[in-house]
């Protein structure tokens, strides 16, 4: 059986039936991107390796729970993201923040400060993950549409400025932005983002 030819959805159905070769094919297809997303969050390759294995172990255990809403890849990335954040909450945030507390802080109200600082770490991590996933989602959009979106959202150009910059009619830019944004919204919503997160 040639597993690499099967869709992600079909592979997950096989994994739910405990087909280890299907898991291996799913792993081969998605492990590198998943690992890259994890390592950029936890900043530790050894830890990222562990989280990657835990992520695919959960796929093995929970494949039957895939709802079919959104893509299997987006479901996989959500698992990896959650595990990365859990790791930072347990292992990274608390010990590092405790080390930075001065003696004065320790004699005062360190736990209030620690809770605030830990929340800051988690929020920064969430933003970093969102940025990384946005980059991954943009990579799935055709080049001309992606380029217009990047100029609009990352470079802050108006539609008219984009049209002048790439020397195409304003109407073409508007069309590319509209179609590109619709595709981006579908990709991100499949990953669990809300429309308000995208706008």
Inside any domain, residue 173: yes
Residue 55 and residue 83 in contact, taking contact as beta carbons nearer than 8 Å: yes
Inside any domain, residue 33: no
- Tens digit of pLDDT at every position of the chain (199 positions): 688 888 889 999 999 999 999 999 999 988 988 888 888 778 888 999 999 999 999 999 999 888 777 678 878 888 888 888 888 777 654 434 334 434 444 444 443 444 444 445 555 556 666 666 777 777 788 888 888 888 887 778 888 998 998 898 999 999 999 998 888 877 776 655 554 444 4
Split into its structural domains, the chain has a count of 1
Inside any domain, residue 70: no
Query: Is the dihedral angle over the CA atoms 46, 133, 91, 79 positive or is it negative?
Result: negative
Inside any domain, residue 3: no
- In the numeric block, which tokens belong to residue 27? 């792993």
What is 138-172 written as a DSSP string?
A: HTTS-HHHHHHHHHHHTS---HHHHHHHHT--HHH
Domain of residue 173: give its range: 140-199
Inside any domain, residue 135: no
Residue 139, φ and ψ in degrees, nearest 5: -65, -20
Residue with tokens 């579908």: 186
Whichever domain contains 154, its CATH number is: 1.10.10.10
Inside any domain, residue 44: no
């Amino acid at each position: 059986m040639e597993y690499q030819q099967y869709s992600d959805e079909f592979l997950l159905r096989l994994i739910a039936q405990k087909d280890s070769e299907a898991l291996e094919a799913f792993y081969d297809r998605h492990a590198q991107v998943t690992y890259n997303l994890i390592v950029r969050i936890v900043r530790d390759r050894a830890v990222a390796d562990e989280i990657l294995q835990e992520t695919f172990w959960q796929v093995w255990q929970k494949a039957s729970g895939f709802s079919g809403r959104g893509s299997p890849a987006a479901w996989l990335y959500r698992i990896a993201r959650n595990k990365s954040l859990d790791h930072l909450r347990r292992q990274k945030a608390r010990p590092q923040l405790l080390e930075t507390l001065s003696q004065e802080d320790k004699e005062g109200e360190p736990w209030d400060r620690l809770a605030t600082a830990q929340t800051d770490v988690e929020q920064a991590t969430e933003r970093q993950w969102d940025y990384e996933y946005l980059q991954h989602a943009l990579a799935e959009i055709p080049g001309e549409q992606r380029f217009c979106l990047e100029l609009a959202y990352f470079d802050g150009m108006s539609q008219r400025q984009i049209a002048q910059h790439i020397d195409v009619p304003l109407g073409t830019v508007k069309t590319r932005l509209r179609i590109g944004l619709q595709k981006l919204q579908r990709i991100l919503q499949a990953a669990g983002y809300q429309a308000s997160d995208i706008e």
